Amino acid sequence: MPILPDDRIRQRALELVQEHGWNATSFQTLAPGFNYFFYADGYVAYVDTGSAWVAAGAPVCATAALFNTTVAFGAAARAAGKRWVFFGAEPRLLEETENLLHSVLIGQQPVWDPSEWQDNLARHSSLREQIRRAKAKGVEVERARKSELAKLDAELSRLAERWLLTRSMPAMGFLVAIRASFADAVGTSFVAWHEGNLIAAAWVMPVPQRNGVFVEHLLRDPRAPNGTTELLIDAIFAWAAAEGLSFLTLGLAPLAGPVPKLLRFARRRLRFLYDFEGLERFKAKLRPREQLPIYLAFPQSQNASQTTLDALRAFAPDGFVRYALRFITLGHPFALRLLALLLMPWIGFLAASSSEFWFQGHGAVKWSWVVFDMAIAFGLLRLLARPSARLSRFLALAATVDAVVTPLEACVWNVPRLEGAVDAVIILVACVAPIVAAVTLWSATARLERLRTL
């Protein structure tokens, strides 16, 4: 991420967020990568996607100044030829800017009163059992002092990398970016240890105007004992209660609650990409006091679909195309799922194809390819269920052989007999697909080997 060009700007933002920080995301706006629009005694933190200014949360200012600050931010964006939108706005912004902004519900933010946590825990036997399991395995949680973070920085970075390597999606930017260094983290940090190894961590950011905190990240090593996350959360709640705090949130559960129909469809159909419902269930099982609606807020003159794309673009700072390519070059599980999915119709096409036309009458060759692709598909499903660098390497070798043999076969049998554009497209797909598969699988192998050695 780019570094702020002037430390005085960040210092001014820090002073304002300490005075006016009401949004759960307020302290996140101090991270590198944000631009600042200052107005009177407040500011808006935003990223410029090229076509839009996407603001984080809502303006950081006094409640009475929300309307004027929003109007001024919008005017500045329009003067720069940009659309503008607030991502992660809470109801207060909409109430104070009535008739100015259109809004779309994008999820819910569960909220707890830390003083009620012990009573909550007493009524939740399964949660207590998870905490007991982690303690029985020897997991210990402690609050990390500021002076210790510099010493732990390398271990925390490795933990973050291990966590990211297990995700279905590559790392994103904007409000969900994982920091490059933890030594200068704002707020309070908690770490979990097991047999001398750092296995989990969390960063707790202040929400000054609500006498509360926001748990920014919960990172867990994939090898951590069951219950580690729950034990870490329990320690955070205990500390918050001891500090006399009355507001605690784990942040947005995206697409949770009565979101619009299109977003409900995305929640159901994109679970292989991101487990929206699983995250919602995890936060719900902690029994929050209330669920606050979180919105995308933007001027009524803007198209909702275009504005939603603008907001999503903020999370992919290099652009949608490059972000999509990272699925392939990093060998993430989503890319493997996509390969397995695309193989199914291809296998059906091969089985139904003419041996005479495509394989010059060599039926045995056709059925060998059918069996080969079925074996690859089965291997991919097995790899997704039980990740293994050894299996991934074997599949990568098989795909590489395919990437070499198929073009040779096409040049000898198919290219001389082309009868039209459709045939050309089929041959192109047959030649390019194994190359893409080989790149993806070699990348997956490297990812799994990296995960094993970290």
Interval 389-408: pLDDT, tens: 999 999 999 999 999 999 99
Share of the chain above pLDDT 70, in %: 97
Decide: residue 292, CB within 10 A, 0-12 exposed, 13-18 middle, 19+ buried.
middle
Among 103-112, 166-175, 310-319, the minimum mean pLDDT is found in 166-175
Q: Domain 114-248 adopts which CATH fold?
A: Aminopeptidase (3.40.630)
**Alpha-carbon distance 261 to 263, whole Å?**
5
Token reading at 115? 């003083």
- What's residue 180's pLDDT? 61
Q: Phi and psi (nearest 5°) for 65?
A: -95, 0
Range 95-99, long-range pairs (CB < 8 A, 24+ positions)? 96/63, 96/66, 96/67, 97/66, 97/67, 97/70, 97/297
In this structure, the chain runs to a length of 454
Helix spans in 177-275 (H):
228-242, 261-269
Contacts of residue 125, Cβ cutoff 8 Å, sequence gap at least 6: none
- What's residue 141's pLDDT? 96
- Residue 324 DSSP SS3: helix
Residue entry with tokens 């902004």? 101
- Residue 109 DSSP SS3: strand
- What's residue 181's pLDDT? 65
Task: Output b/e per residue, 271-280; b: 16+ Cβ within 10 A.
Answer: eebbebeebb
- What's residue 204's pLDDT? 93
Per-residue pLDDT for 87 more than 90?
yes
Per-residue pLDDT for 127 more than 80?
yes
Q: What is the largest CA-CA distance in the chain?
A: 80
Contacts of residue 322, Cβ cutoff 8 Å, sequence gap at least 6: 316
Amino acid at 418: L
Residue 1 pLDDT level (bands cut at 50, 70, 90): very low
Per-residue pLDDT for 268 more than 90?
no
pLDDT digits (tens, 9 = 90+) for 345-374: 999 999 999 998 888 889 999 999 999 999
Q: Using N-to-C axis directions, what is the helix angle for 389-409 and 363-385, rounded to 10°?
A: 150
Among 74-83, 290-299, 316-325, the minimum mean pLDDT is found in 316-325
DSSP codes joined into one string, 258-315: S--HHHHHHHHHTTTT--HHHHHHHHHHT--SEEEEEEEEEETTS-HHHHHHHHHHHH
- What's residue 52's pLDDT? 97
pTM of the entire predicted model: 0.84
Contacts of residue 348, Cβ cutoff 8 Å, sequence gap at least 6: none
**Alpha-carbon distance 328 to 440, whole Å?**
5
